[in-house]
Amino acid sequence: MVSPGRRRVCGGLVLLSFLPLAGCGRKAPRAQAVPRDATVLALGDSLTSGVGASADTAYPAVLQRLTGWKVVNAGVPGDTSTQALARLPGLLQQHQPALVIVSIGGNDFLRRQGASTTRAQVRQICELVRASGAQVLLVAVPELSLLAAAGRLSDHALYADIADELKIPLHRKGWSAVLADARLRSDQIHANAAGYAEFAQGLVNTLRDSGFLVH
């Protein structure tokens, strides 16, 4: 026969066993669909501007053709997260985008800037976008490592951390996959036209999965 005290302990353990499930089941809020004729801002560096290919084969131009959105290419070669953050308020005011795609940080890593600084700047970019009333999609950028030098790239962990903290969608392994494939590169750190097309198609899949794109 089980004592009342033991029943209370066992009942408490059973209840506690269910509590984590509620937390594990929570996901980031699903994005609102972006209308076909809306303005979308692509914020980034040389990978966004399209170095290694022509202007009409840079990923924002390809994305515009795939979605029907007006995609503004706000990529500046050499930009760090600090510089992108400084440009952002003016871009938001000028274009008033419905969505901002944030792909920045590669130059921070190349210049050996501390990851904590990059994390803070990228997070601030995402928060500023949301404060403007626009939605944000964060794009993971590969980290520098010995494996990267051998062509085996992986996303820097700070992007997943920020996406989890802010509950925003993240496009994973886009640049890591493209820049690891010599057929899709113009040099070691830039895509070619085929690479930008590959990246844009992968981005479309994430946009659909996240709810931004419904057509």
Give the active site residue among 49, 155, 190, 210: 190
Parse the chain into domains and list their residue ranges. Answer: 34-210
Give the active site residue among 56, 164, 187, 209: 187
The DSSP H or E segment spanning 4 is helix 4-24
Q: Is 187 a catalytic residue?
A: yes
pLDDT tens track for 124-161: 999 999 999 999 999 999 987 544 444 679 999 999 99
Question: What is the predicted pLDDT for the residue at 133?
Answer: 97
The DSSP bridge pattern shows strands 170-171 and 70-75 to be unpaired
Euclidean distance between CA atoms 176 and 181, whole angstroms: 9
Q: Is 103 a catalytic residue?
A: no
3-class DSSP state of 175: helix
Task: Spell out a b/e string for 2-15, using b for 16 or more CB atoms within 10 Å of the CB, else e.
Answer: eeeeeeeeeeeeee
Please say if the pLDDT value at position 8 is more than 90.
no
Half-sphere CA count of 184, side-chain side, radius 13 A: 19
Please say if the pLDDT value at position 10 is more than 90.
no
Give the active site residue among 45, 46, 79, 171: 46
* Residue pointed to by tokens 């490592």: 145
Question: What is the predicted pLDDT for the residue at 27?
Answer: 55
Percentage of residues of the chain with pLDDT beyond 70: 83
Question: What is the predicted pLDDT for the residue at 29?
Answer: 65
Q: Which of the following CATH numbers is that of domain 34-210: 1.10.3720.10, 3.40.605.10, 3.40.50.1110, 3.40.50.200?
A: 3.40.50.1110
